[in-house]
């Protein structure tokens, strides 16, 4: 059961309430968390794995990921569900 305790110890990012807009600071916070997580995994992670580790929903990740890719903080390899993300 060490995996369950590890998930509980993982810091969760706050989600915006339904209908509430996220601020630029919120996106920056998620982007930073994604980059730090990817630095811990040199073999890369898929989007589903990143979501699970950070406690994000499927809809919370695409914009911060595209922001990280545009700023060259993250690189990707593969297509569609086989895409893996790596820290630069």
Query: What CATH number is given to the structural domain containing 70?
Result: 1.10.10.10
Question: What pLDDT score does 18 carry?
Answer: 67
**For 8-37, what is each residue's pLDDT tens digit?**
444 556 566 666 788 888 889 999 999 999
Q: What are phi and psi of 44, to 5 degrees?
A: 85, 165
Residue 42 neighbours by CB under 8 Å, 6+ apart? 86, 87
From CA 2, how far away is CA 18, in angstroms rounded?
Answer: 33
Question: What pLDDT score does 10 carry?
Answer: 46
* Domain count across the chain: 1
pLDDT at 7 over 60: no
Q: What is the mean pLDDT of residues 42-56?
A: 95
Please check whether residue 10 lies inside any domain of the structure: no
What is the reported pTM?
A: 0.76
Question: What pLDDT score does 14 carry?
Answer: 59
From CA 73, how far away is CA 31, in angstroms rounded?
Answer: 9
Q: What is the mean pLDDT of residues 44-72?
A: 93
Residue 81 lies in domain: 22-87
Question: What pLDDT score does 8 carry?
Answer: 44
């Amino acid at each position: 059961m060490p995996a369950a305790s590890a998930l509980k110890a993982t810091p969760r990012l706050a989600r915006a309430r339904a209908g509430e807009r996220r601020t630029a600071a919120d996106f920056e916070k998620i982007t930073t968390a994604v980059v730090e997580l990817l630095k811990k995994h040199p073999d890369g992670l898929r989007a589903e794995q990143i979501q699970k580790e950070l406690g994000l929903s499927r809809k919370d990740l695409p914009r911060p990921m595209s922001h990280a890719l545009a700023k060259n903080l993250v690189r990707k390899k593969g297509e569609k569900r086989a895409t893996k993300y790596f820290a630069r």
